[in-house]
Amino acid sequence: MAHCRATSKGSGEPCKRPAIAGATVCRVHGGAAPQVKEAARLRLLALVDPALATLARAVKGKGKPTAVEIRAAAEILNRAGLDFTDAAGAPVGASITVHFVDSQGRKMEGS
């Protein structure tokens, strides 16, 4: 999770609190303001369709998203409030390994 980008007026040190999801500041430094919450919510929702498209590419076998792209897509869906879990019901995000195979079942290069 990203850290708040605000700095202390007194010491000039950066804030160490986590930023609210979809924003660059923590609750204390403006993240609790309704307009900041709404802008953060809209930013996250704008990323949902591209995240789903990345996962669809992996499922359909069209293109080959990287493990990083799949992990990022899962994180976006989780932050947007969608419960992204694997088939066993375990939350996705702790670790994900994707291997692509050809029609003969051989592992494809780079996966």
* 48 lies in the same domain as 28: no
Write down the pTM of the prediction.
0.57
* 28 lies in the same domain as 71: no
* 1 lies in the same domain as 52: no
The residues facing 18 across adjacent strands are 3
Q: Is the pLDDT of residue 5 over 90?
A: yes
DSSP letter string, 8-68: -TTT-PBP-SBPPTTSSS-IIIIITSHHHHHHHHHHHHHHHHHHHHHHHHHHHTSS---HH
The reported pLDDT for the residue numbered 71 is 86
Distance CA 86, CA 98 (A): 12
* 54 lies in the same domain as 86: yes
Q: Is the pLDDT of residue 106 over 90?
A: no
Tokens in use for 88? 């066993």
Mean pLDDT of 63-70: 86
Domain count of the fold of the chain: 2
Among 8, 35, 36, which Cα is nearest to 19's?
36
* 22 lies in the same domain as 56: no
Q: Whole domain around residue 55: which residue ranges? A: 44-111
Residue 86 belongs to some domain of the structure:
yes
Residue 38 belongs to some domain of the structure:
no
User: How confident is the prediction for the chain on average, in pLDDT?
Assistant: 80
